[in-house]
Amino acid sequence: MKYKELIAKMTLEEKASLMSGKDFWQTQDIKRLGINSMFLADGPHGIRKQAAAADHLGLNASIPATCFPTAATVANSWNVELGEKMGEYLGEEAVAQGVNVLLGPGINMKRNPLAGRNFEYFSEDPYLAGKLAAGMIRGIQSHGISACVKHFAVNNQEERRMAIDTIVDERTLREIYLTAFEIAIDEGKTKTVMSAYNMLNGAYTNENTHLMREILRNEWKYEGVVVTDWGGSNDRVAGLIAGNELEMPTTAGETNEEIIQAIKTGKIKEEVLDENVDRLLDLIFTTEEALLEPHKEIDKEKHHRMAQTVAEESIVLLKNEDKILPIQKGKKVAIVGEFAKEARYQGAGSSIVNPTKLDSTLECVKECGFETIGFEAGFDRYGKKSQKSIDVACALAKRADVVLIYIGLDEVTEAEGLDRQTMQISENQIELLNALYQVNKNIVAILSAGAAVEMPWINKVKGLVHGYLSGQAGAKAILRVLSGDVNPSGKLAESYPIRYEDTPSYYQFPGKEVSVEYREGPYIGYRYYDTANVDVLFPFGYGLSYTKFEYSDIQVAKDAVTFKLTNTGGMAGSEIAQLYVGCKSTNIFRPKKELKGFTKVFLNPGASKTVSIPFDNKTFRYFNVKTNSWEIESADYEILIGSSSTDIRLVDVIAMEGTEAPLPYVKAKLPSYYSGKANNVSLEEFENLLGSKVPESKWDRTKPLGYNDTIAQCQYAKGGAARFAFKLIHFSHWFLRKIGKRSTANLIMMSIYHMPFRGVSRMTGGVINMPMLDGILMMVNGQFLKGLRHVLKERRKKMEGEKSKTTMVQAAKEM
């Protein structure tokens, strides 16, 4: 242990006090020993440091900071160096605001297009997400503070996010859901990891010894700190045993006491606590050094320009019929769409940043060289229909050479705590687009959304530019792509299915009661579409440019693939070349091909470059559930170089000698996985993959409700008052939506409906302690009066305890 001597000077109470927050954002200090508090702040695409009222829902304002494009956007740049640069800027701002730990990046897999936090995550591919996250972490931590990669792990839905049990087989877990974390830890060297709210195969992630001890600590040799997600601690002692140093936010000492009691009664050894304290002290001491200097003001303009650069590299050109883009000088342009006035540039929830400034299309359009003839909102941002708005927009569009229409999802639809209901954009936008098409065929749509949307309207537009959620400078970045000042070079980091029904997790998303079963196994995103031969609208890795690239001269060596790229078009630009590997043996089921490397190359017109993509320890590996380790199968492997996952330009084959591990599967028992058609796997076959029985996925409606049941389950409670409370909550949600207060309605879902009872205590900073919660549960379970008496008694006890604590502190001060 690094801080053995210091730890020896601490009392048991002091050590335990470090294991949970002092308040919502800060850790506990011990002044007499020179141990200061750390400040943790969201993240991930800007600093959300709250100076006054604190919350994790995006309600109260934070100190202004640069709002960079969200992870889903940056991922489209496929540029690790750019991500690292952005990380450096984020780190600088964190230091300027006195933040020790920046709560990002978020690297969960985009398993399903409707998952509410997709906009905060990079990709459906773990290799791409891991590489980009590692770069960002290196950038943030180059300032001496800590990044915090989150949410570890398999946190892929918002429905019941604090209680849901994710059932996933070991191989899929390793290959799909953990690989990005593995890269972030190995190559990014993150100093902090945030555990996820959910359970993984029956145990809360922060208590899950397989995840936290066997994989994170023993296999990956992680020596940093694990912090719970806010309010995500269930059994504090079990968490400590698994190596979860810090619980956030404060529990007013309640869970510290549980640790103390566990040590006093011999349930755990004091050394377990000491080890956790040691790692936490290291984080405190190493990050506070970075904050010793007086805080420098950041250069806001420079940071704004950086946000613009990141956006420019991340915008994806999806369609360009008749070369409608770039828009020729002198064309009369009509601008339509609410989002042109007020940009749609980030998502809602804990990641919300209060930007230092915000570009708007209408303000930037002239300076970007466009000749505009006017603007019409054309639709209501939150979906209200209006024929009049459509009519005036059409009248404007009639007079234009080109119509730019700004459409997409609104910020209430893409929010933390809530999955989307459909993959469509709102109907009023589609109706507007259809009407515009009747009066003008030269339409370019600019799309803002942090995840895939369905596009039944695609044939109505000639040009389609996807800006994703491009941050505070995104509006200008998009205009520069439209004008041709910037040649688009972004490519999709996720697949766009034609219809939601095509998605591999369609039948298994979201889990609505006890659990969610990942029956599709490793077949998420392109891994499924590609292997099962399902057509998509836009494939993974797809994106157009204003120039053209040619691929030639592939050469495969033992440790790398080399090829030539030539810009054969008329404009300078960058190409993202992608390396996919496909195993030719059919002994072990696999996706047809998987991303194993990529490079982004800038080329002037006519220029060529020979580029190399190295192989690494992930290129040929698969996880073998029999040997419980990574293995290589002896086989021929296709080395595929593509401009997207479906546009493969060069192919070669390499024979690899494997590790000769025993075959892990009986083919006949896993037909869907061997065929890749894994979107509707039977329970029996999933159990064959899992190697065990699937736990009951439905609630036992006869059982009394406990700490980890959610408030939504009050609908089945024995207590009439609880059922009434549920009806009230349900009604308020319905009513608020009906009167158009969708963001308040969302808050009900996010902070009440899906909250487990234990959260009532964990999220109120001890205002309601666990013994009081026991009383509440009695009331819920039909013992109203007994429960009420219990609550009042425990409340009295708590207040007396607090009073005597204050008197003791007072007395100590007076001595």
Residues taking part in catalysis: 229
For 97, half-sphere exposure in the C-beta direction (CA atoms, 13 angstrom radius) is 24
**Cβ closest to ligand BGC, residue 150 vs residue 462:** 150
Smallest distance from ligand BGC to CB 149, Å? 11
Residues with Cβ < 8 Å from 408, sequence gap 6 or more? 339, 344, 425, 429, 447, 448, 449, 453
Considering the rule CB under 6 A, would residue 39 count as an interface residue with ligand BGC?
no
Q: In what order do the strands lie in the sheet with 146-152?
A: 40-41, 101-102, 146-152, 192-195, 225-227
**Do residues 747 and 57 lie in contact, with contact meaning Cβ atoms separated by under 8 Å?**
yes
* In the complex, least distance from residue 42 CB atom to ligand BGC, rounded to whole angstroms: 5
* CB of 559 closer than 8 Å to CB of 61: no
Which residues in 748-777 contact ligand BGC (CB under 6 A)? none
Q: How many residues make contact with ligand BGC (CB under 6 A)?
A: 8
Q: Report if residue 258 touches ligand BGC, rule: CB under 6 A.
A: no
Report the nearest approach of ligand BGC to the CB of residue 433 (Å): 34
Q: Tell me the residue ranges of DSSP E strands in 103-152.
A: 146-152
Which amino acid, one-letter code, is at 554? I
Look at strands 146-152 and 101-102 and give their pairing. parallel
Beta bridge pairs of residue 466: 316, 447
Asked whether position 230 contacts ligand BGC by CB under 6 A, the answer is: yes
Q: Which residue's CB is nearer to ligand BGC, number 111 or number 319?
A: 111
Q: Which of 175, 168, 199 is nearest to 124 (CA)?
A: 175
68, 46 Cβ separation under 8 angstroms: yes
- Which of 79, 255, 314, 350 is close enough to bind ligand BGC by CB under 6 A? 350
Nearer to ligand BGC, 230 or 540 (CB): 230
Residues 6+ apart with CB under 8 A from 3: 277, 278, 281, 282, 285
For residues 562 and 609, give the distance between their C-alpha atoms in angstroms, rounded to a whole number: 10
133-162 residues in contact with ligand BGC (CB under 6 A) are 150
Residues in the chain: 815
Which residue among 7, 10, 16, 42 contacts ligand BGC (CB under 6 A)?
42
Residue 387 is which amino acid? Answer: Q
C-beta closer to ligand BGC: residue 103 or 729: 103
In the complex, least distance from residue 591 CB atom to ligand BGC, rounded to whole angstroms:
29
Considering the complex, what minimum distance in angstroms separates the CB of residue 351 from ligand BGC? 7
633 lines the binding site for ligand BGC (CB under 6 A): no
**707 close to 162: Cβ distance less than 8 angstroms:** no
Q: CB of 440 within 8 A of CB of 428?
A: no
Query: E-strand spans in 108-155?
Result: 146-152
Indicate left, alpha or beta for 582 from its phi (over 0: left) and psi (-120 to 50: alpha): beta
Q: Confirm or reject binding of residue 174 to ligand BGC (CB under 6 A).
A: no
**Measured from the CB atom, is 222 or 230 closer to ligand BGC?**
230
**One residue of 45, 49, 56, 592 binding ligand BGC per CB under 6 A:** 56
Residue 103 or 114: the one with the smaller Cβ distance to ligand BGC is: 103
- If binding is defined by CB under 6 A, does position 229 make contact with ligand BGC? yes
User: CA angle, 218 as apex, 212 and 222 as ends, to 5°?
Assistant: 70
Cβ proximity to ligand BGC: between 249 and 775 the closer is 249
Q: Contacts for 80-84 with beta carbons within 8 Å, 24 or more apart?
A: 80/131, 80/132, 80/134, 80/135, 81/135, 82/135, 82/309, 82/310, 82/313, 83/132, 83/133, 83/135, 83/136, 83/139, 84/135, 84/136, 84/138, 84/139
Please say which residue, 600 or 758, places its beta carbon nearer to ligand BGC: 758
- C-beta closer to ligand BGC: residue 230 or 500: 230
Q: What is d(CA 13, CA 672) in angstroms, rounded to the nearest whole number?
A: 55
Q: Rounded to an integer, what distance in angstroms lies between the CA atom of residue 199 and that of residue 177?
A: 14
Q: Closest Cα to residue 452, out of 498, 488, 411, 491? A: 498
Site for ligand BGC in 655-684 (CB under 6 A): none
> CA-to-CA distance for 550 and 352, rounded, in angstroms?
41
Structure token digits, residue 306: 């950086």
Place of tokens 């809530």: 418
Contacts of 734-740 with C-beta under 8 Å, sequence gap 24+, read 740/382, 740/384
Q: Rounded distance, CA 78 to CA 489, Å? A: 9
* By the rule CB under 6 A, 596 interacts with ligand BGC: no
Shortest Å distance, C-beta 174 to ligand BGC: 23
For residues 30 and 17, the answer to whether their CB atoms sit within 8 Å is yes
Please give the residue whose beta carbon sits closest to ligand BGC in the complex: 56
411 counts as binding ligand BGC under rule CB under 6 A: no
Q: Which is nearer to ligand BGC, 151 or 592 (CB)?
A: 151
Q: Nearest distance from residue 715's CB to ligand BGC, in Å?
A: 24
By CB under 6 A, the residues from 96 to 135 that bind ligand BGC are 103
Full 3-state SS string of 349-374: CCCCCCECCCCCHHHHCCCCCCEEEE
Q: Which is nearer to ligand BGC, 150 or 790 (CB)?
A: 150
Alpha carbon distance 470, 307 (integer Å): 8
Distance of closest approach, residue 681 Cβ to ligand BGC, in angstroms = 29
Q: Which one, 162 or 641, has the nearer CB to ligand BGC? A: 162
Shortest Å distance, C-beta 421 to ligand BGC: 21
Task: Considering the complex, state which of residue 42 and residue 207 has its C-beta at the smaller distance from ligand BGC.
Answer: 42
454: nearest Cα among 497, 417, 493: 497
Which residues of this protein are in contact with ligand BGC, per CB under 6 A? 42-43, 56, 103, 150, 229-230, 350
